[in-house]
Amino acid sequence: MIKWIEYIKLFWYFAINWNPVLAAFMTWHEIRGERKYKIKTSKPVELTALTIPEGDIAHGSRYEAVNYYILEALLTRLKTLIPPSSFTDLGCGKGRALVVAAYFGFTKIRGVDFAVEVCKTADYHLKHIQGRFPKMEYNIYCQNVPDYEIHPDEQVFFLFNPFNDEVIEEFLEKVEVSQKLHPRTIYFLYASPKYIDVFFDYEYEPIYRKRKLQWLDGVILKKDATHTAGENGDEKMPDS
């Protein structure tokens, strides 16, 4: 009963802030996704209700999980571009994107978040599915994203507006250094891309975009190791 009450609350939150049609669509995918992946990640949490040892909450946003529809669409497209290997969620929250990435075949799973409680939940969810994916290695880093040390094998990063443009720019600076030291193509899966212009400043090319019902939006951005865009012939951000 409590679970259904939470879904009803979620529906009204979506309906009040957007519209009933979008609310019904998003709530349906919440129910479908939570059942499919057997996790509990729907309930939003205010940052003020969480333990944050370091980091400025003024640069962050409350915990809300990305909609399953957009997340699955981005991962489905990404698998046509590269073999699944590393996947890093910046502002991973309770681990929804990490779990779904594991189901899509990614084996090096990393999540970064500065809130203790959601990091523990993410760790619980991944530990729960580890038996299903024996090749999966995962780490949850409970720290401020700008302080995160990028691994040489990290190629795919995901974010769902967990923080503002200042933090994104600071992190992209670190990616720039890592890419020069360890040349590789970098992909960002960016859901609800509010600060997409920051990526353009760093010469990322949008190669795919998924929109639904006006408000749901996700994009894949790419930057080659050579810092040139489109040399592999990828299409330039078609809508679908």
Give the pairing of strands 86-90 and 156-159.
Answer: parallel
Is residue 7 included in any domain, yes or no? no
Is the pLDDT at 235 greater than 60, yes or no? Answer: no
Q: Is a pLDDT exceeding 90 seen at residue 64?
A: no
Task: With respect to residue 232, please indicate whether it lies within any of the assigned structural domains.
Answer: no
What's the structural domain count of the chain? 1
| 31 belongs to a structural domain | no
Amino acid at residue number 125:
H
The per-residue pLDDT of the chain, averaged, comes to 90
- For residue 110, what are the contacts with CB-CB under 8 A and spacing of at least 6? 86, 87, 88, 89, 98, 138, 139, 140, 141, 151, 154
Q: Is 94 helix (H, G, I), strand (E, B) or coil?
A: coil
> Does some domain include residue 235?
no
Q: Look at residue 226 in the predicted model and tell me its pLDDT.
A: 67
Q: Which domain CATH number covers 80?
A: 3.40.50.150
Residue 1 has pLDDT above 50, yes or no: no
Whole-number pLDDT of residue 239: 54
pLDDT tens, position by position, 102-150: 999 999 999 999 999 999 999 999 999 999 999 999 999 999 999 999 9
Looking at the domain assignment, is residue 239 inside a domain? no
> Do the domain assignments include residue 240?
no
- pLDDT tens for residues 156-213? 999 998 888 999 999 999 999 999 999 999 999 999 999 999 999 999 999 999 999 8
> For residue 184, is it within any domain?
yes
Print the domain residue range for 96: 43-223
- pTM given for the model: 0.89
4 domain residue, yes or no: no
Q: Reduced to 3 states, what is the DSSP secondary structure of residue 24?
A: helix
CB 206 within 8 A of CB 236: yes
Task: Return the amino acid letter for 57.
Answer: I
